[in-house]
Amino acid sequence: MEDLLAARLQMAVSLGFHIIFACIGMAMPFFMAISGYKYLKSGKEVYKDLTKAWSIGVAIFFAVGAVSGTALSFELGLLWPTFMEHAGPIFGMPFSWEGTAFFIEAIALGLFLYGWDRLHPWVHWGSGVVVGISGVASGIFVVAANAWMNAPAGFDWIDGQAHNVDPVAAMFNEAWFSQALHMTIAAFVATGFAVSGLHALLLLKDKNNLFHRKALRISLTVGAIAAILQPLSGDISAKDVAERQPLKLAAMEALFETSQPADFIIGGIPDEEAKQVNYAIHIPKLLSFLAHGDFNAEVQGLDAFPEEHPPVLITHIAFQIMIFCGMLMAAIGLLFLLFNWRWKHLLDRPWFLWMITLAMPLGFIAVEAGWTVTEVGRQPWIIYGIMRTEDAVSPMPGLDVTFYIFTGLYLMLSFILVWLMRRQIMTLSDKYSSARIHQPRGNN
């Protein structure tokens, strides 16, 4: 395998792996905190059990996230030493803040997991909230660093060297807000739907189980709210990308020719040779509106950029997958929030539980697809418009070996995690009395 390809694939595998744990680390503590709050307020054992059961999941996932995150901080150098040599001092500021946030997260998690009997109940609960806040903060900092690669700022690039470095300007680059917002909400959507799906499946197997019903209610409420908000943040992102990286938008939408007005293309398979999209549905003028807020605005196509452009096929399909999953989840979320309001038994209807079960992976599929869009859509640049990915890769031969080692390791860890979670679920009713309680519907 070519070294550049191996390095890019390794980065994709490592980030794709780590991002799942990062999302869970951002959102899950808040689920625990909600359940913990309900326990402290109501004194109901089921909420205590739920908080404990969830916290064990968090502990396992956090550990994998912490070590895979450590690996990433080294991999940036192992794979892209030239990039880091130049970029480190410029975009490093969010990383130094992220270090602090992550540190606090680790400390607070230790307190939360092992402090049940050692801390005052509200102090203990507070430590759980701190885990969530610092988790979200570290996510935002890391995304701000990534945003800088899309919207480089805070330096002058003269003859292949950075001058007049301004780390503050680099951190608050043009893309940081829209990317951080989109990612943070995505973490709540993905985690909310994944957790809901799991508990819905368990409810299908074990009807009226109190533990799973409470769990589902909390996770689905958070997931649904986030899923409804996400298209709004997606709109901010789209307008931002249209402004800043029109080339990326053109690849996302497989818009080969500059158009005024431009159609929104749904689905389809782009053919880069023939410069057309086969089997697609066109919605007239919608892209003009989504990108610029005007139905008759001009949208630049790939032909406006005669030099290299990102791989259209991957970027377009990943973008479509993200949109599709996002819309589906927003619809499910809306359905739940609207009807659950009046129709309390929704969480007991098998068809609804099946739907939630099937929606389990949608959030994480959308997250992975979204990252594919932003990373592949930036190619061939590692720092947009400044440094090419091929010029940043490590000159060490044999990077494919590194790729195989990491891929094998992460595959193995993924299998073990699934297996471990299964074992956790199998023993739930042995460990927690509330997981053995069954209440007929209506008693939510």
What phi, psi does 332 have (nearest 5°)? -60, -40
Q: Least distance to another protein from the beta carbon of 50, Å?
A: 16
Nearer to another protein, 124 or 316 (CB): 124
> Is 383 strand, coil or helix?
strand
Q: Least distance to another protein from the beta carbon of 413, Å?
A: 6
Nearer to another protein, 169 or 313 (CB): 169
Instruction: Provide the residue type at 91 as one letter.
Output: F
Cα(81)–Cα(391) distance, rounded to whole angstroms?
Answer: 10
> 148 with 90: CB under 8 angstroms?
yes
For tokens 């916290």, name the residue.
Answer: 55
Residue 254 per-residue DSSP state? T
Q: Least distance to another protein from the beta carbon of 78, Å?
A: 5
Print the binding letters for residues 425-444 with another protein: x by CB under 8 A, - otherwise. -xx---x-------------
By CB under 8 A, tell whether 370 contacts another protein.
no
Cα(95)–Cα(65) distance, rounded to whole angstroms?
Answer: 16
> 391 with 7: CB under 8 angstroms?
no
Site for another protein in 102-141 (CB under 8 A): 102-104, 106-111, 113-115, 118-119
Q: Least distance to another protein from the beta carbon of 173, Å?
A: 15
Please list, residue by residue across 20-40, b when 16 or more beta carbons sit within 10 angstroms of its beta carbon and e when fewer do: bbbbbbbbbbbbbbbbbbbbe
Tokens of 244: 């800043």
Q: Least distance to another protein from the beta carbon of 79, Å?
A: 8
Nearer to another protein, 52 or 441 (CB): 52
Nearer to another protein, 77 or 350 (CB): 77
Cα(28)–Cα(22) distance, rounded to whole angstroms?
Answer: 10
Q: DSSP 3-state helix, strand, coil percentages of the chain (rounded to 5)?
A: 75, 5, 20
Print the binding letters for residues 66-105 with another protein: x by CB under 8 A, - otherwise. xxxxxx-xxxxxx--xx-xxxxxxx-xx-xxxxxx-xxx-
**Four-point Cα dihedral 331, 336, 338, 341, nearest 10:** -170
Cα(78)–Cα(392) distance, rounded to whole angstroms?
Answer: 11
> 72 with 99: CB under 8 angstroms?
no
By CB under 8 A, tell whether 304 contacts another protein.
no
Q: Least distance to another protein from the beta carbon of 220, Å?
A: 25
Q: Least distance to another protein from the beta carbon of 315, Å?
A: 29
Nearer to another protein, 167 or 311 (CB): 167
Nearer to another protein, 345 or 431 (CB): 431
By the criterion CB under 8 A, which residues form the site for another protein? 56, 59-60, 62-64, 66-71, 73-78, 81-82, 84-90, 92-93, 95-100, 102-104, 106-111, 113-115, 118-119, 165-168, 394-398, 402, 405, 409, 413, 416, 420, 423-424, 426-427, 431
